Structure 1
Amino acid sequence: MLRGHLNDIFIFMAVVDAGSFVAGGRAMGMSRSAAAKAVMRLEDRIGARLLNRTTRTLSVTDEGRVFYERGLQVLASVEEAEASMARNGGTPRGILRLTVPDAFGRVVVLPLIEKYVATWPELQVEVSFTDRLTDIVEEGFDLAIRIGTTMPDTRLVSRVVASYGAILCASPAYLSNHGEPQTIDDLAAHDGLIFSSRNQRQGWRLRTEGGPWIKAPVRSRLRFDSAEALRHCAVAGLGIALLPDFLIANDLGAGRLRKILPGFKADQVKIVTIYPNKRLLEARVRRFIDLVVEQLGS
């Protein structure tokens, strides 16, 4: 009986993932009507509606979202059990669920993922490219890669794996229209393009070689939770941005952006891996962290 109950749960999750009974049933090798009946059995058993159904749409109820998240935890436990049996060989298996920053993920992490799946054919990878700070435990991620973010959450482990230089830059058109700042205090008269996510806002600290850190006065009309959006606006001449060098190297080389206040250095941009605090770390997660450190640590 328990196996049948679990099967109904997995069918419900497949329907949610696919967005319809037809596609969800197909993913589980069954018809639309069989998938719908499985979800109805599940709803009857737990005494709650999990899906709102109309002739055209299918949506998840609040109870359905909670149940789906619990289902992810069940799957994670099953995958961890499988991984523990394979730990002697250390072969990554199952699904590696990652959340990575949008621009950094596409430019830097994606080539690592391509190398990883080529090395381990039994592995699947699901990636969310977003600059939004996610709750990786609640949302079912194995690993997050973040820029400059450490996590005080005791459920999580954070590890700095690499650092990049940050560069204060603006487009030639912006500097022609507004003048080029010569001192840190001059920045107060300019438009800053600031990274801001939830209640975290980027601050600018600069210093000369060996000098003390100075907090730059920054006014900003434009704030984004996307580094790529900041880069785009800087190239478009909308203000001054402080961006990691990997993101703007091509723009600097092509003259679309210019480094300003070259006598000052900014804080290093730290790349951090964040993952749930577990006694045993699955091979698929551990091996990917090793690859990130190997490729980016230098």
Structure 2
Amino acid sequence: MNRPALSGTQVDEMLTFLAVVEAGSFVAAGRSLGLSRSAAGKAIARLESHCGARLLNRTTRTLSLTEDGRRVLAHALTLRGALEAVGSDITTGGGDPRGELRISAPDALGRRLILPIVGRFLKQWPQVQVEMSLSDRITDMVSDGADLAIRIRVSTPNPGLICRTLRKEPLVLCASPEYLDRTEAPTRVEHLSRHDLLIHTSQTRRLTWKVQESDGTWVRVTGRSRLRLDSGEALREAALSGLGVALLPTSVVHGDLDAGQLRRVLPDHDAGSVEIVALYPHKRLLDGKVRHFVDMLAADLAD
């Protein structure tokens, strides 16, 4: 009985099948594609159901192709070659990136650092459209359909994603002049224990503050925490409103510092820095618009 033509989802399953065969395991294939072992296994099961045949012999330690699996493998290789030829034609045929680029970025940093670069990118590549999500909530960029995510403090990135460091952003302790006049500006780290600290929270995690003393030792900062927020932009607004001391990336508040709307707290102390990174899928042929935009980010944000 003739089987229906492959749908878009089944094309993905064919490529997952090819990755499993080449990697020799569901775990390694899933890692290369940004999928869990379970998701890769389910994709193969759906493909087998569509084909009406078992494609892989599975044991606890090995995978081997069945006769039907070898035939499907040949088609999968042809399919991948055709897709790569299309991708190559799109990204290099005209030389210009095109299509929609979906970007996820933190709110405050996205507004001040990334959005101006997006503007220049759109001007340089008129055939590109950008959809940008600005939020401090950490979500799964693959599930959200993002092509690229800008993140702060990524300690264990998804193994299916490339993590490229764009810059180290200095942090600054700051508060409004009104707040510091009202409470007496701290001159030593331990003085912060008497102040209201505006803390950034992220899905039940709280950022720990550390400040470097003159002898080079790093000291953990403690203080009252009556207001906790999950947005860097909201923390900036709270600091401007005189609600306490904030620890924020310099680029977020440098305009406020220059205008005198915020003042540095303990200006002679190093408040540390954070890494700003770009995350994007690990693909043999990276989409041209993603590659061009990441390169522009790296050049513009380089120290």
Q: What TM-score do the two structures reach when normalised by structure 2? A: 0.69
Aligned amino acid, residue 237 of structure 1: G
Q: Give 2:126's match in structure 1, choosing from 121, 131, 150.
A: 121
Deviation digits for residues 142-198 of structure 1, max 9, x if unmatched?
Answer: 100122334432122212111222110111211122222221112112111011111
Q: How far does the alpha carbon of each residue in 1:198-232 deviate from its partner, in whole angstroms, 9 at most, with x for none?
A: 13321111113560221111331211111110011
- Show the counterpart of 1:173: 178
Q: Whole-Å Cα distance in 2 between the matches of residues 151 and 275 of structure 1?
A: 14
From the CA coordinates, give the structure whose radius of gyration is larger: 2
Distance of 1:94 and 1:158 partners within structure 2: 23
Counterpart of 1:191 (choices 190, 196, 202) is: 196
Q: 3-state SS of the aligned residue for 1:137?
A: helix
Retained in 2: the 8 A contact 1:206–1:266? yes
Which of 87, 90, 107 does residue 86 from structure 1 map onto?
90
Bigger drift between 155-164 and 125-134 goes to 155-164
Which residue of the partner structure matches residue 16 of structure 1?
none
| Residues 279-298 of structure 1 aligned to structure 2 (within 5 Å) | 279-298=284-303
1:151–1:158 Cα contact (<8 Å) kept: no
1:230 equivalenced with 2:235 (yes/no): yes
SS of 1:265's equivalent in the other structure is coil
Q: Which residue of 1 aligns with 2:159?
A: 154
Determine if the alignment matches structure 1 residue 215 to structure 2 residue 220: yes
- Say if 2:136 and 2:231, in contact at 8 Å, map to a contact too: yes
Q: 1:150 to 1:85 in 2, by over 3 A?
A: farther
Counterpart amino acid of residue 206 in structure 1: V
Tell me what 2:11 maps to.
Answer: none
> Using a 3 Å threshold, how does the CA distance of structure 1 residues 79 and 214 change in structure 2: closer, same or farther?
farther
Alignment counterpart, residue 133 of structure 1, candidates 138, 158, 163: 138
The alignment status of 1:270 with 2:269, answered yes or no, reads: no
Matched length: 226
Amino acid at match of 1:84: S
Moved over 6 A (4+): 78-81
Task: Give the direction of change, closer, same or farther, for the CA distance of 1:80–1:200 in structure 2 (3 Å limit).
Answer: farther
CA shift for structure 1 position 2: 5.3
8 A contact 1:155–1:276 mirrored in 2: yes
Tell me the amino acid that sits aligned with residue 187 of structure 2: Q
- In the alignment, structure 1 segments of 5+ residues that lack a partner are 7-77
Equivalent residue, structure 1, for 2:206: 201
Paired residue secondary structure (1:154): coil
- Letter of the 2:101 partner, please give it: L
Q: CA deviation at 1:140?
A: 0.7
Deviation at residue 116 of structure 1 after TM alignment? 0.8
Match of 2:248 in 1: 243
- 2:176/2:261 contact within 8 Å kept: yes
8 Å contact kept, 2:87–2:285: no
Instruction: Output the CA distance in 1 between the equivalents of 2:85 and 2:238.
Output: 47
Q: SS where residue 198 of structure 2 aligns?
A: strand
Q: Distance in 2 between matches of 1:83 and 1:94?
A: 12
- Which amino acid letter does the alignment assign opposite residue 155 of structure 1? G
* Distance (Å, rounded) in 2 between the aligned partners of 1:111 and 1:79: 33
Match of 1:101 among 97, 106, 113: 106
Between 194-203 and 79-88, report the one with greater CA deviation. 79-88
CA distance in structure 1 between the aligned counterparts of 2:241 and 2:104, rounded to whole angstroms: 28
Give yes or no for contact 2:213–2:219 (8 Å, CA) kept in 1: no
Tell me if the contact between 2:104 and 2:132 (Cα under 8 Å) persists in the aligned partners. Answer: yes
| CA separation of 1:198 and 1:79: change in aligned 2, threshold 3 A | farther
